Structure 1
């Protein structure tokens, strides 16, 4: 019983650490900007092309 509780606690802590690292690595600690351009939340595959011409 105690081993199960300890194992569950370790698993939850491990996953929380992974999540917090992934979230922190998205933003620049100095300016708060995205660290890579593909991660913009408003970007979508259906976005208008930059030149304004649709090909499909």
Structure 2
């Protein structure tokens, strides 16, 4: 199960540089490409609002 970013995202940008496979893209909120996500949890570990959750 890959991670997805919930509506709790405040678009702070903390998660994107932590992703080792560049699966996170920016927009109004950040989005994780489920085909690229390797389920490492790096994004979840740095998010101040716990927006990344396992799908």
Q: Same fold (TM over 0.5)?
A: no
> TM-score, normalised on structure 1?
0.20
Taking CA–CA contacts closer than 8 Å with sequence separation of 6 or more, which of the two structures ends up with the larger relative contact order? 2
| Between structures 1 and 2, the one with greater helix share | 1
| Between structures 1 and 2, the one with greater strand share | 2
* Greater Cα radius of gyration, structure 1 or 2: 1
> TM-score, normalised on structure 2?
0.20
